[in-house]
Amino acid sequence: MATPDVVQFVCLSQDPRTVIEALGGALDTLDTELAAIARLGYDTEDGRFGFEGQEQRCTNFAVAGAQVADWGDIALQLLLPPGGGACFVYLWRQRETTCLSVELHAGNLYFESEEWENLQWVRSFLIATNAALGTVGSAYDAHRDELFAPLNLGKILEALRAGTLLETVPLSHYMIRHDVIAAREIRALVERDAPPGFRYSETTTGYYVLDNLY
């Protein structure tokens, strides 16, 4: 089964520099390093929003944060623990908010080492990123077909309440902040709809985690 490609997040109120610095702090405990940065914009071969030019080597989140103040929109290439390859984090401005998405591939999920089991890194990454940035929520599933698009959490909640979110989407991971939906309601919905092997948890940082990764 093919793995989804995109993690979408609800837009953030912080500026991109603050987001980058917070992300760097979260990755300290995940054996994950910054490798390169690239400018995002519309000066591309096809005129669509994306990479403008080549990646530039950068291993310091503070430097990347300073660069985004000039560029406005930026891509960060992250090096995962040995065996996990690399992934990209994208930050772009939309009105007065900062949008965030992550592009993953199967190798980012399924690798093992002495420190990491299969899927352990991506689970830890999503929990740490949401907590560090204070996002309202994130979604990783096969329906995230737009890389540069913020998450519409209202649609996630609508599908969850309708009973279609968990039963129709294999290989998925959702995080929702505790102040968005009552614990009693989401627990009842998970009990009603969760497939075998589904993992539900509540983090100490204030999130519900709906985990159907395997």
Taking alpha carbons only, the member of 30, 113, 116 closest to residue 79 is 30
Host domain of residue 82: 6-212
pTM: 0.94
pLDDT tens, position by position, for the chain (214 residues)?
Answer: 567 799 999 999 999 999 999 999 999 999 999 999 999 999 998 999 999 988 999 999 999 999 998 999 999 999 999 999 999 999 999 999 999 999 999 999 999 999 999 999 999 999 999 999 999 999 999 889 899 999 999 999 999 999 999 976 679 999 999 999 999 999 999 999 999 999 999 999 999 999 999 9
Amino acid code (one letter) for 108: N
Determine, yes or no, domain membership for 126.
yes
State how many domains the chain has: 1
Q: Where are the beta strands (DSSP E) in the chain?
A: 6-9, 33-41, 50-57, 74-79, 86-94, 97-103, 137-140, 172-177, 199-202, 207-212
Residue 1 lies in a domain: no
